[in-house]
């Protein structure tokens, strides 16, 4: 995995991360917490798309699932926020696994198409009148901000920050162990050489559907966390633009690396704001333009960008000798 950091660097970053909530203003702490929920979501997407090669333009649906599960359990059943996370993971995993079954037959762009359809249909499904009593229909549900437990001297934002950080670290560790083990090798084998993998006794179908399930579970937890942090869920927050953002974040951050999930989460959270500052009228256009520029220069994402640069510099023939084409 590219981007593996030394233990010293990691410890240093962790220490810095723990200090931040005490030096930054509340809304920035909130934004960093959102970054963490996106990072979880992207972790899921990376597993599926980067490590297992299945493209998804519909992960917003799983994010929405997690968010709504958390919201409904908290609002309607009075569950504590932390208890909703495992449920979100379970339901997300189940749904992901189920979606993974027909997805087995789809490849590349066709899978992108099918998942795109899922992403587009999600808000409509959430607004469905038949489920209004539970989902709150178009209005959505409003949640209460949790407080720090055991009388700790932290405000809500800071507590949620540390809570999310803990969840993130645990789930990252699980993912890393998963990928380092035999399971991880199977994931990559199925992505790169499915026929050879099958010849070696790997059950491709099982690997792919289980990966879909795990991926959806992670994204679902990210969604649940985001609901707790934002304290609000409504169908229009989970439009296809969310699915698009997630894929964008995954690709920009660098797909086949766990740290890519973090880079991508920062991108998703902060670049749209930056774009808005550049152009109040057409922020998404600026966002799209940045995206395009990145893709044209770094088709393998930030984590792969350095690798590509090195390769270009070491290619024996200088660019002057590439072929000239008549237009």
- Which residues are at the interface with other proteins (CB under 8 A)? 49, 55, 57, 102, 105-106, 108-110, 112-114, 116-118, 120-121, 124-125, 127-129, 240-241, 244, 247-248, 251, 255, 279, 281-285, 287-289, 291-292, 295-296, 299-300, 311, 314-317, 321-327
Q: Given 3-state DSSP classes, what are the helix, strand and coil percentages for the chain, each rounded to the nearest 5?
A: 80, 0, 20
37 close to 55: Cβ distance less than 8 angstroms: no
Nearer to other proteins, 21 or 301 (CB): 301
Please state the closest distance from residue 108 (CB atom) to other proteins, in A: 5
Could you count the other beta carbons within 10 Å of the beta carbon of residue 65?
24
Pairwise CA distance, residues 258 & 266, whole Å: 14
Q: Give the bridge partners for 141, in sequence order.
A: 233
Pairwise CA distance, residues 308 & 20, whole Å: 33
Please state the closest distance from residue 284 (CB atom) to other proteins, in A: 4
Nearer to other proteins, 143 or 291 (CB): 291
Task: Indicate the helix (H) or strand (E) that contains 275.
Answer: helix 258-278
Tell me, rounded to whole angstroms, the distance of Cα 93 from its chain centroid.
14
Pairwise CA distance, residues 62 & 92, whole Å: 6
Please state the closest distance from residue 240 (CB atom) to other proteins, in A: 8
143 φ, ψ to 5°? -115, 165
Tell me, rounded to whole angstroms, the distance of Cα 39 from its chain centroid.
5
Nearer to other proteins, 174 or 309 (CB): 309
Pairwise CA distance, residues 155 & 138, whole Å: 31
Nearer to other proteins, 221 or 251 (CB): 251
Stated length of the chain: 327
Please state the closest distance from residue 98 (CB atom) to other proteins, in A: 11
Please state the closest distance from residue 39 (CB atom) to other proteins, in A: 19
Nearer to other proteins, 158 or 211 (CB): 211
Nearer to other proteins, 162 or 241 (CB): 241
Pairwise CA distance, residues 70 & 221, whole Å: 9
Nearer to other proteins, 230 or 255 (CB): 255
Please state the closest distance from residue 288 (CB atom) to other proteins, in A: 4
Please state the closest distance from residue 119 (CB atom) to other proteins, in A: 9
């Amino acid at each position: 995995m590219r981007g593996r950091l030394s233990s010293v660097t990691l410890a240093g970053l962790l220490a810095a991360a723990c200090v931040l909530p005490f030096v930054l203003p509340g809304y920035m702490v909130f934004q960093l917490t959102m970054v963490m929920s996106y990072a979880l979501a992207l972790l899921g997407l990376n597993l599926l798309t980067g490590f297992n090669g299945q493209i998804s333009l519909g992960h917003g649906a799983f994010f929405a699932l997690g968010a709504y599960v958390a919201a409904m359990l908290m609002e309607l059943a009075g569950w504590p926020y932390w208890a909703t996370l495992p449920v979100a993971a379970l339901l997300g995993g189940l749904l992901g696994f189920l979606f993974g079954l027909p997805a087995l037959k789809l490849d590349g762009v066709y899978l992108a198409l099918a998942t795109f359809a899922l992403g587009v249909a999600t808000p409509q499904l959430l607004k469905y009148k038949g489920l209004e009593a539970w989902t709150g229909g178009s209005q959505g549900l409003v949640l209460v901000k949790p407080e720090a437990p055991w009388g700790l001297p932290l405000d809500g934002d800071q507590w949620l920050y540390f809570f999310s950080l803990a969840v993130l670290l645990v789930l990252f560790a699980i993912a890393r162990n998963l990928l380092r083990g035999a399971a991880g090798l199977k994931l990559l084998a199925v992505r790169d050489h499915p026929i050879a993998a099958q010849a070696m006794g790997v059950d491709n179908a099982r690997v792919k559907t289980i990966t879909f399930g795990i991926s959806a579970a992670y994204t679902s937890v990210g969604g649940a966390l985001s609901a707790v942090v934002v304290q609000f869920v409504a169908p229009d927050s989970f439009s296809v633009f969310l699915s698009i953002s997630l894929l964008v974040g995954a690709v920009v951050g660098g797909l086949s690396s766990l740290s890519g999930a973090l880079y991508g989460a920062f991108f998703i959270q902060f670049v749209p704001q930056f774009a808005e500052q550049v152009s109040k009228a057409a922020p998404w256009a600026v966002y799209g333009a940045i995206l395009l520029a990145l893709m044209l220069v770094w088709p393998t994402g930030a984590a792969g960008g350095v690798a590509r640069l090195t390769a270009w510099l070491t290619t024996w023939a200088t660019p002057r000798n590439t072929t000239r084409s008549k237009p």
